[in-house]
Amino acid sequence: MHSDGLHIHHGPRLADRTTLGLGGRALAEIQVRAPSGLETLRDVLDGFGGCGQVLGAGSNILAGDADMPFVLLSLALKQGPRLLRMDDEFMEIYVEGGCMLPRVLGELARLGASGLEGLAGIPGSFGGAVAMNAGSFGSTIGDAIQSLSVYSLRRGLLELERPALELAYRHMGIRGLEGPFLVTGATLRLRSAPSAAIKAAMRRNMEKKRASQPVTAKSAGCVYKNPANAPAAGKLLEDAGFKGRRNGGMVFSPLHANFLVNEGGGNANAALDLMAEAEATVLQRFGVRLEREVIVWA
């Protein structure tokens, strides 16, 4: 079904929309396909009588097995990266939230825009990466954000400068803004550098990931954040005996214990049981309360 700038899909399965391949059906999905769709999004959502839950590419979500009482809000605005201005040292580049991050990184390398090489190999959408403040190898996308375009269900379209953002480890919030919002785009400020050097750094980072992470398996990346002042979450899970531990088609990867993998036929209940057991054991053995990085919708 179409409304101006919106596409509506009834009863999408979260298992089809998340990289873990788990989850029941949402009430509907409203996909924004043109900026005009943002003008009616709120009214169309109200028509479903459910609340809205923003979905990117589903690469950081563990959705429960039961059907969900909410409507997915997604974005198919995919323009950019677009060079806005540059001087001898810096480039300002605008990217729409629905772009896929790997394509964005490839384009940034081609443009000679350096700063996000560490993110090579992270799947997902650009908007999802901003919302999660995704990062790797010491750099985060938040480091590069100069300004943000956001659609808030309560306050409509907002243009925000960097000081309005709350950036932390795998978290991006907006000061004074409650309720769901869609990151529709962001302007990045990146340093000019030779394309070849950027591409080489990205290749090196991808190779490191391929060697140490189950990058092609069905997962949502790291399940837990690395705790401050303690060994990495993967090390804690491994030392607690969870590397390779299975339950009902789900396994803490034998390659990297912080990746929970759906081996096929897994379900969210099995995943959550395994996680609860791991969290309790790590707390009991090492006194560390693991904090979930994966967003659980259950």
Ligand X SMILES: Cc1cc2nc3c(=O)[nH]c(=O)nc-3n(C[C@H](O)[C@H](O)[C@H](O)COP(=O)(O)OP(=O)(O)OC[C@H]3O[C@@H](n4cnc5c(N)ncnc54)[C@H](O)[C@@H]3O)c2cc1C
Q: Which residues bind ligand X (CB under 6 A)?
A: 19, 54-61, 75, 97, 122-125, 127-129, 131-132, 134-136, 170, 181-183, 215, 219-221, 295
C-alpha atoms less than 13 angstroms from C-alpha of 122 in its C-beta half-sphere: 26
Catalytic, 285? Answer: no
Catalytic, 51? Answer: no
Q: Which residues pair with 148 in a beta bridge?
A: 160, 186
- In the complex, the smallest distance separating the C-beta of residue 56 from ligand X, rounded to whole angstroms, is 2
- In the complex, the smallest distance separating the C-beta of residue 193 from ligand X, rounded to whole angstroms, is 21
C-beta of 199 vs 292, nearer to ligand X: 292
C-beta of 112 vs 221, nearer to ligand X: 221
C-beta of 86 vs 232, nearer to ligand X: 232
C-beta of 70 vs 286, nearer to ligand X: 70
Q: Report d(CA 234, CA 256) in Å as an integer.
A: 6
C-beta of 112 vs 122, nearer to ligand X: 122
Q: Which residues pair with 245 in a beta bridge?
A: none
Active-site choice (29, 238, 279, 293): 293
For residue 160, the surrounding DSSP H or E stretch is strand 156-161
- In the complex, the smallest distance separating the C-beta of residue 133 from ligand X, rounded to whole angstroms, is 7
CA 79-80-81 angle, 5° bins: 165
- In the complex, the smallest distance separating the C-beta of residue 123 from ligand X, rounded to whole angstroms, is 5
Residue 175, Cα to own-chain centre: how many angstroms?
A: 20
DSSP letter for each residue of 188-218: EEEEE--HHHHHHHHHHHHHHHHHHS-TTSE
| DSSP SS3 for 283 | helix
Q: Kindly state the greatest CA–CA separation across the chain.
A: 56
Active-site choice (17, 33, 170, 245): 170
DSSP letter for each residue of 83-146: EEEE-SSEEEEEEETTSBHHHHHHHHHHHTEES-GGGTT--SBHHHHHHHT-EETTEEGGGGEE
Catalytic, 170? Answer: yes
- In the complex, the smallest distance separating the C-beta of residue 287 from ligand X, rounded to whole angstroms, is 26
Active-site choice (222, 238, 245, 279): 222
Residues noted as catalytic = 170, 222, 293
